[in-house]
Structure 1
Amino acid sequence: MESRGSQAKAVGQRLLQAYIPQKTGLQAVSSGQRGSVLRWFITVVLNAAFLGMGVSAAVLGPTFPDLARNVNRNVSSLSEIFVGRALGYLCGSVVGGVLFDCMNHFLLLGLSNLLTSAGLYLTPFCKTAVLLTAMMSVTGISFGVLDTGGNVLILNLWGDKGAPHMQALHFSFALGAFLAPLLAKLAWGTSASTQNHTDPGFDRSALNRSSEATSDSLFAVPEDMNLLWAYASTGTYVLVVSVFLFAPFFNQSSRQKKSTASGQEARRAKYHWALLCLLFIFFFFYVGAEVTYGSFIFSFATTHVGMEESEAAGLNSIFWGTFAACRGLAIFFATFLKPGTMIVLCNIGSLVSSFFLVLFDKSPLCLWIATSVYGASMAATFPSGIAWIEQYTSITGKSAAFILVGAALGLMATPALSGILQGHYPDLPIILYTCLGSAVFTTVLFPVMYKLATLPLDYKQKKGSNSEGQKFLLSSSELNKEAKLRWEGWGNSEDSVKNHQSRGTEREIGLLTEWPPKKPVRTKR
């Protein structure tokens, strides 16, 4: 029995050595603090990157007439650059989703920002419409990669606590889109020759003769230096952010942190791809309605309601203003409201406001009130949808790319189809019908998605309530830490039970109180 006791002691010492982590005490705390700081650093850099993406995407609007003049084209004949950027975003989402699962995340996002910066620097130098369209496609590809990778990386970093950070990420994009006109018009004043491109009697031959010297070259310095400075300043900001994105890639500890942060338990719903397909359709209608209303509300207010252009411009501003403001407020709401609750509230607000828009389509007062409510209701839907689906099934790069492809298709198809129908039926508020139909569809679709997402979870809980795997909920690292504490005598069993009451169940506490094994009892022969 004595030999058995010595063997048990030796085994216990070996177990103790196996359970001791590499860093203990203050070093472990320091490591945890370093990991938390690194996670916040990455989050802040991602928000800065999305801010730059918002500025880069929205700066095209106020500088569009100047770019048309730069390539010797009319505004109405240069709409292909929007199609080129949308197609680039679509391709970037697909490519980014595939690459995100097979290469370093920070390297991929840093390269995408470098691509955006290069596209912004070269855009003012493009002297042909084809080259300008190609450059817009390049920036669209980088937007798709950054959008896909940024959303997945936030979910990997924060897990179930990622809803506020997801809202902050998309608020940064909205804030950048809000700042872009201020940068382009107020800071650099790029609106010199807008009139020359919009007047019906514009003499193109004079412009052709003036640019005859530079017509043979693909790249040349633009005549409007304000246009150059607007894009160069935005490109410089994106370039600086790309440096910070590369920083975690060269830090060895960040790779370990990435693996631990993304090493959460993988959740896969029984109807994983069915949920992704429904969310694909959900975002198709949501993004399509958002872009359609924001793009056509100005022309609708002037032609259908009879507003002055200044009033219509204010109506357009209040839509995007409430949209950006409520995305900022959604950061705080997401700390105590579940993503599903926020989606329901957004759907109800969109449905009610679009219904009143259709019902009182000739009333300017209703148009002002309903537009502000509609913009506020649309703000938190997209980030809440991504945070919601992560609760039930894990989102990889390919899954995020699939969802964003649906959003990109809605961005391209819905405004184009609505514009064509509005042209064929000018007396009908086709734009408002589109928004109401999309609101009805998304409101009905979300309960179906919720039922499909929770059904396999309920089934597993009922069937596996007695299974040993669901009873044992503590991770192996927590058990190892507790074993170490108990072996070294840092706390008795009663203290350990108190420490684990907030983290485990009674079954887990019962398992912990059985450690360490009892010493062998000597018996007299």
Structure 2
Amino acid sequence: MSEENYNIADKAASENFLREDGTPQQDQTTEDSKPDVSTTAARYFLTATLGAGFLGLGASLTILGLALPTLAANLGSSIDDLSLVLIARGGGYVTGSFIAGTLESKVNFLFLAAVSLLSMALGMILTPLILNVASFYICTAISSLGMGGFETVANVLCLYLWGKKSGPVLQFLHFWFCFGCAITPYFARPFLNEVFYYSTIPSNSSAAENITSFQNITYIENTDLPFVSVPYFVIAGILTTVTIFLIILKLFFAWNLTRSQDKNTTEFEGTRYRYGVLFLLFWFFFVFIGMEVVFSTFLYKFGISESPGLAYSRDVSADLSAVFFFSVVIGQFLAIFWSQKFSPEKILAADLLGVGIAAILVLFYPLYFETAPILFWITVGLVGFSSTSIYACVLSWASHRITFDGRAMSVSVFGGSLGEMVLPIPVGFLIEKHVLSFLYFISGYAFVLILLFLMMVKFAQTKSEKHSLDNPAELDNLQIQGNSKMQNQKNG
């Protein structure tokens, strides 16, 4: 297939993406014309709205782990009885992503995003009101379906709206996701019950046993609502507000944001090349998300473990975890500006170089943890700072090489969700008896991630980057044809 034919098909898909009321229109753009001011402003407003949705997504993902002991206590159950909730959430997340990826070429993007957000909000509202374990799993599944759907739709919509300039916008969206994850523990802490661990020697036993006791369920004054429902309701309020703004955009601008199937460029990419890129993306996100979850989950445990662990107090170990999360937020914020000056490949190379240096420092931990413990704190910050912008950079990199539609995004989400469930398993089994296994697995995952990146770059060199108008559409060179109804009435 010639490059000329490829460019024609790529441009056709771009022109068909935004249509007013779903009807074909002629392209009214010339090289010297400028996008309509009102619709340009709406594009920025839509991006800001998606950012608020990512803030709610980050908070929704984080609140479950924080509130799990309180929810278990409210049910008169144990955490062991609710331990399968992470698997249920991962399954729901993947299912929601695949549903959204399948429908994105048939259903309006704004409608899909709104339904996903409402599903998340409904799950957030119902979860603190649960009456039994079965309903807890159902509520988690409802919210996780919306999480997977929204992540898929929002990322793909961003790529379609901004095209080759989507790098900084993706970093902007994921900054709000990281910010939501970072602030949720501090916001939710006053509304969570304390869990007390102590030892006692029963009269009929000579051995000490560990007993866990919870505070009684606390309720909001003059209501039957448990206190833990406050952070859940606040998150649901954020998600509902974002949904309302999306509906306003749909009604006011009459956009039919549906990917055109008339001339899909996937047929010009080559099946083998496209599937090869998706295969490598699957495993890259499998390792990357799994590594992040392992590090953030077991860092606190490593901090409080006796030598050769850090043997810190619980407060100091919590501070160590805070260093990681805030380094993620800072790195993600700076990535918004870096991505305007550097290509995704250069940012990824720098990020993975930092991850590789951190992995080496982790391996040498036994040599310096007694003489220079501050070096480990620096390593923790380096891991967070270096890994934060990888996700968005990989999406941007992939969109320059294949048509990154909803199904491609679903493959990435599936790989990340599977890694989140699988890679922590060996660390969880070994960390109690072999504390340093946490460091060895983190280093191994980091080196595998770097190897996968090199494989992706090498494979991508077998086919040149897409030319001409990018698909997702580079709308800076197109007149957005979804003008507001108000302006149409004025002109009419």
TM (norm. structure 2) is 0.79
Asked whether the equivalents of residues 122 and 142 of structure 2 are also in contact (C-alpha less than 8 Å), the reply is no
Which of 339, 362, 367 is the aligned partner of 1:357?
A: 362
Asked whether the equivalents of residues 319 and 372 of structure 1 are also in contact (C-alpha less than 8 Å), the reply is yes
Label 1:21 to 1:441 Cα distance change in 2 as closer, same or farther (>3 A): closer
Asked whether the equivalents of residues 422 and 428 of structure 1 are also in contact (C-alpha less than 8 Å), the reply is yes
> 1:313-334: per-residue Cα shift (whole Å, max 9, x none)?
1111101110111011100000
Label 1:230 to 1:385 Cα distance change in 2 as closer, same or farther (>3 A): same
Whole-Å Cα distance in 2 between the matches of residues 126 and 83 of structure 1?
19
CA positional deviation for 1:247: 2.5
CA positional deviation for 1:90: 1.6
Question: What's 1:367 paired with?
Answer: 376
Give the secondary structure class of the aligned counterpart of 1:348: helix
Alignment of 1:249-288 (within 5 A): 249-251=250-252, 253-255=254-256, 268=269, 271-288=273-290
CA positional deviation for 1:135: 0.7
Label 1:22 to 1:276 Cα distance change in 2 as closer, same or farther (>3 A): closer
Larger radius of gyration: 1
Which structure shows the bigger proportion of residues in helix conformation? Answer: 1
Asked whether the equivalents of residues 70 and 222 of structure 1 are also in contact (C-alpha less than 8 Å), the reply is no
The one-letter code of the counterpart of 1:441 is V
Alignment of 1:145-160 (within 5 A): 145-160=149-164
> 1:375-434: per-residue Cα shift (whole Å, max 9, x none)?
1111011110000111111101111101110011011100122212334xx235112112
Question: What's 1:331 paired with?
Answer: 336
Alignment of 1:76-115 (within 5 A): 76-115=80-119
Asked whether the equivalents of residues 288 and 412 of structure 1 are also in contact (C-alpha less than 8 Å), the reply is yes
Asked whether the equivalents of residues 71 and 129 of structure 1 are also in contact (C-alpha less than 8 Å), the reply is yes
CA positional deviation for 1:479: 13
* Residue 345 of structure 2 is aligned to residue 340 of structure 1: yes
CA positional deviation for 1:151: 0.7
Alignment of 1:97-176 (within 5 A): 97-176=101-180
Whole-Å Cα distance in 1 between the matches of residues 192 and 198 of structure 2?
11
Question: What's 1:419 paired with?
Answer: 428
Give the secondary structure class of the aligned counterpart of 1:335: helix
CA positional deviation for 1:85: 1.2
The one-letter code of the counterpart of 1:392 is R
Give the secondary structure class of the aligned counterpart of 2:227: helix
Asked whether the equivalents of residues 148 and 397 of structure 1 are also in contact (C-alpha less than 8 Å), the reply is yes
Label 1:302 to 1:159 Cα distance change in 2 as closer, same or farther (>3 A): same
Asked whether the equivalents of residues 298 and 312 of structure 1 are also in contact (C-alpha less than 8 Å), the reply is yes
Whole-Å Cα distance in 2 between the matches of residues 181 and 263 of structure 1?
47
Asked whether the equivalents of residues 195 and 212 of structure 2 are also in contact (C-alpha less than 8 Å), the reply is no
CA positional deviation for 1:230: 1.8
Whole-Å Cα distance in 2 between the matches of residues 427 and 113 of structure 1?
42
Label 1:312 to 1:277 Cα distance change in 2 as closer, same or farther (>3 A): same
Which of 41, 46, 69 is the aligned partner of 1:65?
A: 69
> 1:429-483: per-residue Cα shift (whole Å, max 9, x none)?
112112111211121221221121122228x99xxxxxxx99xxxx9x9999xxx
> Structure 1 stretches of 5 or more lacking a match?
1-19, 212-220, 462-468, 481-525
Structure scoring higher RCO (CA < 8 A, sep ≥ 6) equals: 2
Question: What's 2:436 paired with?
Answer: 429
Provide the identity percentage: 24
Label 1:24 to 1:62 Cα distance change in 2 as closer, same or farther (>3 A): closer
Question: What's 2:394 paired with?
Answer: 385
> 1:342-377: per-residue Cα shift (whole Å, max 9, x none)?
111111111111111121146132211111111111
Question: What's 1:247 paired with?
Answer: 248
* Superposed CA RMSD: 3.3
> 1:84-110: per-residue Cα shift (whole Å, max 9, x none)?
112211211211211222211110110
Whole-Å Cα distance in 2 between the matches of residues 415 and 24 of structure 1?
52
Give the secondary structure class of the aligned counterpart of 1:369: helix
The one-letter code of the counterpart of 1:59 is I
The one-letter code of the counterpart of 2:341 is F
The one-letter code of the counterpart of 2:410 is A
Number of residues of Structure 1 aligned to a counterpart in Structure 2: 426
Label 1:36 to 1:265 Cα distance change in 2 as closer, same or farther (>3 A): farther
Question: What's 1:313 paired with?
Answer: 318
